[in-house]
Amino acid sequence: MKKTLDLRGLSCPIPLLKTRDALAQADMVEVLVDELPPKENILKFAKSQNYKVEWTESGGEYRITVSK
Amino acid sequence: MNWPILILTGIVFGLGAVLLVRFGNPGNYGFCAACHLRDIAGALGLHNANTLQYARPEVLGWVLGAFSLASLQGQFRARGGSNPVVRFILGMAMMIGALVFLGCPLRAILRLSAGDLNGLTGIAGFLSGISIGIIFLKRGFNLGRAKLHTSGGAKFFGYLPALAALQLIISVAFNAPYLNFSAKGPGSMHAPVWLSLAAGLVAGGLAWKTRMCLSGGFRDFLLVRDTYMLSVYAILFVSALAANLHLGFFKLGFDKQPLAHTMHLWNFLGLFLTGIAATLAGGCPLRQLVLAGEGNTDAAFCVLGMLVGAGIAHQLNIAASPNGVLFNGQIAVLAGLIVTTAIGFIYREQITPIGKGA
């Protein structure tokens, strides 16, 4: 199951927490963030868990797909 | 992971802080988000403690350094709107806690690096506060979304911290008559302006680049076992320790440490309050200053709260002194804890998924 979360504009570390929580319930999670720190934190987290991660950037927003 | 920048940041903050003491700042007072902002509040007349008034260029440099590097790299973004009033209150709480301990979490590490074991008590309090803050975050604490400012006035507010920092730096460099300057006490002790400013600018740029944040560092470790941000502080500690040992500033013990007291409970509870407030506000005092520099107007409100908190702390005898924490300070910490935990309980916002697919 895939989940999509809009995490734009949320303070650190809420985007990371929400992504982590969503991944506990779904195998694939797509998140939308609009700042570099949450993007980096989510990529780092995904890497630490050996999850597959892909991201694209458009207009200062990052769409990140994390899959188990 | 960019290790060269990480190591450089640790050294600039650790070695830099000790060298600033060597060149005139009070003991273990090279960098401190709380004490330096308190001195700035004094310079602006927000409190009348006439020994604690000097517009410290170090933290002003942080703001300007973060602004400059963020702008150069196209990352300056005027944004905000995530409950600025609550952030103002959290800023006040952060400052009151820090002034009861006598230092921000960064200074707790710097104090420890010079042998002041009260730093350990403070760090333990800060860590405990972060743990409580994380419980609120896990329960769904959320101050709402920030958005990019699009209107002219709001956009301008994004530049205001950097402009105010620049104006204050120029004013302090030229001894502007509208600023207060302490004639005695810690406020009268400072490194040359240009040196403080240079150290602050470099440190601010690096803090922006590495996104260093002590509450973030502990939080990342507790949440996802990530030690990236904590390693900056480890390098900072080791370089400050080496410099303190080399320059003869190191003195191990609890008693008679520079600008410190030994009321352990209040050292603990002071930074405990700061830890909860910092976690709820999304960053430690240093990080708030850096974020304010790069256009985050919510962080700017938090910094304003810190400035006003410093003013109140000294006007109402809440701030500690080397003699300890007075009754007012103890009441203020307890009141701060009540207000901060109430904020933690009240502000929850459900983030609804955009869509669920197969």
3-state SS, residue A61: strand
What's the CA dihedral at A58, A22, B354, B76 to 10 degrees? -30
B61 pLDDT exceeds 80? yes
Q: How many CB pairs below 8 Å do chains A and B form together? A: 78
pLDDT of residue B43: 98
CB contact under 8 A, B79 and A9: yes
Contacts B298 to A, Cβ<8 Å: 11
Per-residue pLDDT averaged across B246-268, rounded?
97
B274 pLDDT exceeds 50? yes
Give the count of beta carbons closer than 10 Å to the beta carbon of residue B209: 20
- In a 13 Å sphere around the CA of B31, the CA atoms on its Cβ side amount to 36
Phi and psi, residue B4, nearest 5°:
-55, -45
3-state SS, residue B220: helix
CB contact under 8 A, A17 and B137: yes
Residue B74 near chain A (CB below 8 Å): no
Contacts A16 to B, Cβ<8 Å: 223-224
Domain positions in chain B are 3-346
Distance from CA of A4 to the nearest CA of B (A): 6
Question: What does the angle CA B52 – CA B287 – CA B78 come to, to the nearest 5 degrees?
Answer: 110
Per-residue pLDDT averaged across B153-176, rounded?
96
3-state SS, residue B194: helix
Q: How confident is the model over A6-40, as pLDDT tens digits? A: 999 999 889 998 999 999 989 999 999 999 889 98
A2 pLDDT exceeds 90? no
Disruptive mutation site among B351, B352, B356 for chain A (greatest number of A CBs within 10 Å): B351
Encoding tokens for residue B70?
């963020």
Encoding tokens for residue A3?
């989940």
Contacts B292 to A, Cβ<8 Å: none
Give the count of beta carbons closer than 10 Å to the beta carbon of residue B351: 17
Contacts B224 to A, Cβ<8 Å: 16, 20, 44-45, 48
Full DSSP string of B106-136: HHHHHHHHTTBTHHHHHHHHHHHHHHHHHHH
What's the CA dihedral at B28, B31, B32, B36 to 10 degrees? 110
By Cβ distance, the residue of A9, A12, A45 closest to B283 is A12
For helices B327-346 and B84-101, give the axis angle rounded to 10 degrees: 150
Distance from CA of B303 to the nearest CA of A (A): 16
What one-character DSSP code corresponds to residue B255?
T
- Angstrom distances, CA of residue B351 to CA of A18, A22, B55: 9, 11, 41
pLDDT of residue B337: 98
pLDDT of residue B258: 96
Encoding tokens for residue B109?
């590490």
pLDDT band at B351 (very low <50, low <70, confident <90, very high): low
Q: Which of B288, B300, B145, B126 is nearest to B219 (CA)?
A: B126
ipTM score of the complex? Answer: 0.90
Contacts A10 to B, Cβ<8 Å: 82, 142, 145-146, 351
Phi and psi, residue B212, nearest 5°:
-60, 140
Q: Distance between CA B122 and CA B117 in Å, rounded?
A: 9
Contacts B356 to A, Cβ<8 Å: 1-4
Encoding tokens for residue A56?
């694209």
Q: Distance between CA A10 and CA B280 in Å, rounded?
A: 12
Domain positions in chain A are 2-67
Phi and psi, residue B193, nearest 5°:
-55, -45
Return the residue matching tokens 């910092």.
Answer: B278
Chain B, nearest residue to A20 by Cα? B224
Spatial contact of B175 and B39, defined as CB atoms under 8 Å apart? no
Q: Which of B183, B58, B173 is nearest to B110 (CA)?
A: B58
CB contact under 8 A, A13 and B216: yes
Distance from CA of A45 to the nearest CA of B (A): 7
By Cβ distance, the residue of A5, A9, A36 closest to B75 is A36
Q: Distance between CA B261 and CA B325 in Å, rounded?
A: 8
pLDDT band at B350 (very low <50, low <70, confident <90, very high): low
CB contact under 8 A, A13 and B225: no
B358 pLDDT exceeds 50? no
Q: Distance between CA B293 and CA B201 in Å, rounded?
A: 11
**Least confident stretch, B43-57, B146-160, B328-342:** B146-160
Fold of A2-67: Translation Initiation Factor IF3 (3.30.110)
CB contact under 8 A, B220 and A13: yes
Encoding tokens for residue B131?
């743990």
B33 pLDDT exceeds 50? yes
Encoding tokens for residue B254?
């609890």
Give the count of beta carbons closer than 10 Å to the beta carbon of residue B189: 16
pLDDT of residue B235: 97
pLDDT of residue B355: 47
Spatial contact of B301 and B159, defined as CB atoms under 8 Å apart? no
Contacts B357 to A, Cβ<8 Å: 1-2, 4
Q: How confident is the model over B115-151, as pLDDT tens digits? A: 999 999 999 999 999 999 999 999 999 999 999 999 8
Q: Which amino acid is at B119?
A: G
Contacts B207 to A, Cβ<8 Å: none
pLDDT of residue B354: 52
Contacts A9 to B, Cβ<8 Å: 79, 81-82, 144-147
Chain B, nearest residue to A38 by Cα? B211
CB contact under 8 A, B219 and A13: yes
Per-residue pLDDT averaged across A48-67, rounded?
93
By Cβ distance, the residue of B219, B228, B356 closest to A3 is B356
Question: What does the angle CA B318 – CA B322 – CA B325 come to, to the nearest 5 degrees?
Answer: 35
Per-residue pLDDT averaged across B9-23, rounded?
98
Encoding tokens for residue B196?
């403080």
Phi and psi, residue B257, nearest 5°:
-90, 150
Q: Distance between CA B112 and CA B18 in Å, rounded?
A: 12
